[in-house]
């Protein structure tokens, strides 16, 4: 790839919300090497991207994704015997190949729509690790992946058996956690509570499934190896256990009391002394704004979903009020959460949190990079940063809708082809019904 210059582009400084026209120079290795207001006369050796009238932002980081699904309702079998058959088929060479190719397509869609880095938090058969390595080697085009491999859950717990491994004791958790690390996981994902999609009783979505001692032992072991831990937790008790165990990020969250608020901010057992909250509104908000008929779910799932949404919302608002670190991720692959709609999660956070566009754009870029611990190379536009950039026709400080139609995505200095792009019309229609209602 030749060295590139993006000229005359309106550079947005997300720290100060100021805009200046600049020329961005990108090295052959895809790193930003100079930001200047002066353009040299001789640009012969540069590939030139015209930035005039366009705005430039750092690429977005999606902190909570799954790549196995499309956003259509999941159709995996629930009867144990059929689950066994399905899992067996998936675990063949052909099964894994099909799964990987679907994940690859979904990751590429995320990239085409502005997500240049994403964290997976629960995939089957370690295929997220395979895909991460393919992308890193340059064999496949996609966002930079930070991966967890399969989740670690209790017996019959959240996400089992397809995207989570079952555990019945502390030693199980330690052994399976170590296996994830040895196979190359960047994070460990645990499930402290049940989830909406697989709950079998009203209120079960937030029921505690993992013991404090189990989570604590696993955090300790992972942290000793420099690996951080993310925890699915959808009830007050679940979040409390996760925080006490020392997890580094709480996924979804719930209403908190004072003890929990303090633990988020000062968590001695976490790796960096604090824990972050990733609320994930995209799969939850339809329960509050669409009918059971629209969603096509059972009464049980509908009622569980509504309760979880209220808890996530309360936890998020408390976190903002108490200056807890909050990241943004949309739980892509869950029902109604496609791989091309990450901008919606920013809009939800902005509206539900009473935040400015500047606030949420910072959270989805430099803030998320800090939570991942990759802020030295990712999340801002500065010399030495990877050239993961978005060119926009509208000013995103004025409207987040600017992210809906990104003019050009640049990954490591290379423009991303936007032509092949599959939309799910039924889902788009339902989501448009909610627009402006949140």
- The footprint of Zn ion (CB under 5 A) covers 331
Nearer to Zn ion, 331 or 341 (CB): 331
The smaller minimum CB distance to Zn ion, of residues 123 and 331, is found at 331
Q: Give the Cα-Cα-Cα angle 332, 335, 338 (nearest 5 degrees).
A: 40
Minimum distance from residue 234 beta carbon to Zn ion (Å): 10
Q: Which residue's Cβ lies closest to Zn ion?
A: 331
Residue with smaller CB distance to Zn ion, 74 or 208: 74
Nearer to Zn ion, 335 or 386 (CB): 335
Q: Looking at beta carbons only, is 123 or 214 nearer to Zn ion?
A: 123
Q: How far is the CB of 250 from Zn ion (least distance, A)?
A: 12
Angstrom distance (rounded) from CA 77 to CA 318: 38
> Which residues make Cβ contacts (< 8 Å) with residue 438, sequence separation at least 6?
285, 289, 347, 348, 351, 352
On the CB side of 11, CA atoms within 13 Å amount to 17
Q: Which residues contact 169 (CB under 8 A, 6 or more apart)?
A: 214
Q: Is there a contact between 292 and 299 (Cβ–Cβ < 8 Å)?
A: yes
Q: Minimal distance in Å, beta carbon 278 to Zn ion? A: 9
Return d(Cα 302, Cα 311) in angstroms, integer: 15
d(CA 434, CA 338): 15
345, two tokens:
């999660």
Q: Which residues contact 341 (CB under 8 A, 6 or more apart)?
A: 71, 113, 282, 330, 332, 431
Nearer to Zn ion, 58 or 329 (CB): 329
- CB 349 to Zn ion: min, Å: 16
Tell me how far, at minimum, the Cβ of 238 lies from Zn ion, in Å: 14
User: Shortest Cβ distance from residue 252 to Zn ion (Å)?
Assistant: 8
């Amino acid at each position: 790839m030749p060295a590139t210059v993006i000229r005359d582009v309106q550079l947005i400084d997300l720290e100060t919300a100021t805009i200046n026209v600049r020329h961005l120079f990108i090295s052959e290795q895809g790193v930003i090497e100079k930001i200047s207001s002066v353009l040299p006369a001789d640009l012969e050796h540069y590939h030139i991207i015209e930035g005039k009238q366009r705005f430039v932002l750092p690429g977005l980081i999606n902190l909570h994704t799954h790549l196995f699904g499309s956003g259509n309702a999941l159709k995996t079998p629930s009867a144990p015997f059929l689950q066994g058959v399905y899992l067996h088929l998936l675990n063949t060479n052909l099964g894994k190949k099909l799964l990987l190719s679907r994940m690859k397509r979904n990751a590429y869609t995320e990239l085409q729509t502005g997500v240049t880095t994403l964290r997976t938090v629960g995939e089957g058969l370690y295929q997220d690790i395979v895909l991460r390595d393919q992308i890193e080697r340059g064999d496949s085009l996609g966002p930079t992946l930070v991966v967890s491999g399969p989740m670690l859950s209790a017996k019959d717990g959240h996400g089992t058996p397809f995207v989570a491994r079952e555990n019945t004791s502390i030693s199980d958790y330690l052994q399976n956690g170590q296996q994830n690390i040895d196979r190359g996981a960047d994070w460990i994902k645990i499930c402290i509570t049940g989830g909406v999609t697989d709950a079998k009783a009203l209120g079960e979505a937030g029921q505690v499934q993992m013991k404090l001692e189990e989570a604590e032992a696993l955090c300790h072991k992972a942290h000793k190896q420099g690996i951080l831990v993310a925890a699915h937790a959808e009830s007050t008790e679940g979040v409390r256990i996760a925080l006490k165990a020392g997890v580094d990020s709480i996924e979804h969250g719930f209403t908190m009391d004072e003890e929990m608020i303090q633990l988020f901010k000062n968590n001695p057992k976490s790796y960096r002394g604090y824990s972050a909250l990733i609320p994930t509104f995209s799969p939850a908000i339809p329960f509050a704004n669409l009918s059971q008929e629209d969603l096509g779910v059972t009464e049980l799932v509908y009622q569980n979903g509504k309760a979880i949404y209220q808890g996530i919302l309360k936890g998020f608002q408390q976190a903002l009020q108490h200056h807890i670190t909050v990241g943004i991720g949309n739980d892509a692959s869950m029902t109604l959460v496609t791989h091309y709609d990450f901008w919606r999660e920013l809009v939800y956070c902005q509206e539900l949190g009473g935040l400015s566009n500047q606030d949420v754009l910072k959270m989805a870029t430099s803030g998320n990079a800090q939570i991942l611990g990759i802020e030295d190379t990712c999340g801002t536009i500065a010399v030495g940063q990877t050239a993961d950039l978005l060119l926009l026709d509208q000013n995103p400080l004025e409207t987040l809708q600017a992210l809906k139609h990104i003019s050009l995505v640049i990954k490591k200095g290379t423009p991303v082809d936007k032509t092949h792009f599959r939309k799910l019309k039924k889902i788009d229609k339902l989501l448009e019904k909610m627009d402006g209602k949140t």
